[in-house]
Amino acid sequence: MCDASTSRHLEVLLLQPLSLHFESTLSKKYNLLKPWLSPLPLNAFLSTHAQSIKAIVSSGPNCRAIENSLLQLVPNLGIVATATAGVDHVELEACRKKGVAVTNAGEVYSADAADFGVGLLIDLLRGISIRQRLKGDNHNHNHNHNLLGSQVSGKRVGIVGLGSIGSHVAKRLTAFGCPISYFSRAPKPNFPSYKYFSSVLDLARENDILVLSCALTDETRNIVNRDVMEALGKDGIIINVGRGALIDEPELVRCLKEGVIGGAGLDVFVNEPDVPKELFQMENVVLSDHRAVTTPESFKAVLELVIANLDAFFSGKPLLSPVLCS
């Protein structure tokens, strides 16, 4: 583990502002470089500090892309430590070629994301926030059958990505008596009671609800397209606590308008913070602004994990949550 006197001389690059507490805690151990405070353009700033930058810390729902062009400006970089679960903003192949390690938030956010996903589902099926919104708009919906709601218990749930978040979702919804099935790259032997599907299309045909909790990759981008939504059916529900681009967003809007599916609970979007304006007018949609994992508990845990990964890297010890090892 790095001691304070040694680590304080190590320069860590931040590509965007972090929370005040996050920055304050990191600055007690490391010399933080903040290019947004410099009058220099980013490239010139990086060139000035090129030899001393050994680590980058990345965080936030709209992380700056860490691409090969940026990596070329910091030749001594050894680690990209992200405070996010997903690393789709990091060009992993470029990091691999340069021998740069990458870490993420590991399983820190899994319980919070699962809680939130189940919360979106309950909210949507029971019409909790929709009723409040309509009440505020003075709408008379006493005889609107669509607002009577539907029970969660017993609904067939298909999970796209039975990783850490997905398995937490499954555990919670099993308590509601929901039969669970899933899609992933391969069957999960640790979950023999859940039915495996090798196709998202087949998963949609056999379920009432799709919960999206997988990572965003080239293979999973737009994994839920119109064909999948048509297979899910007019009463089907989509919950997304993964990444916005897992869904073909324009087709989602069209399918919701046309009644191809029954509704959606969405915490993530393709072009955050922008949200398709049509979604705000729909009574069969519950929206959140990428808040699934924003709890004090998760913030504390991810800060500790980022620091532990940095300490391990600078001490030559194994990383705690490696996505890519150097």
Pairing type for strands 237-240 and 209-212 reads parallel
Residue 2 is predicted with a pLDDT of: 47
Prediction pTM value: 0.88
Set 91, 168, 251, 290: catalytic member: 290
Q: What residue type is assigned to position 235 of the chain?
A: D
Beta bridge partners of 32: 12
Token pair 């919070």: residue: 112
Question: Cα separation of 235 and 1, whole Å?
Answer: 54
Beta bridge partners of 265: 239, 286
Residue 63 is predicted with a pLDDT of: 79
Set 67, 93, 272, 304: catalytic member: 272
Mean pLDDT by 10 residues, the chain (326 residues): 52 92 93 95 94 92 87 96 93 97 96 98 92 62 55 97 96 98 96 97 98 95 98 98 97 98 97 95 94 94 96 96 92
| Residue 203, token pair as written in the block | 């998963």
Contact residues for 230 (Cβ-Cβ < 8 A; gap 6+):
255, 260
Q: What residue type is assigned to position 99 of the chain?
A: G
Residue 134 is predicted with a pLDDT of: 65
Residue 177 is predicted with a pLDDT of: 98
Residue 149 is predicted with a pLDDT of: 78
Residue 135 is predicted with a pLDDT of: 61
Residue 136 is predicted with a pLDDT of: 61
Token pair 């990086």: residue: 46
- Residue ranges and CATH numbers for the domains of the chain are 4-108+296-324 (3.40.50.720), 110-287 (3.40.50.720)
Mark whether 107 is an active-site residue. no
Assign residue 161 a region (left: φ > 0; alpha: ψ between -120 and 50; beta: otherwise): left
Mark whether 272 is an active-site residue. yes
Set 168, 243, 249, 251: catalytic member: 243
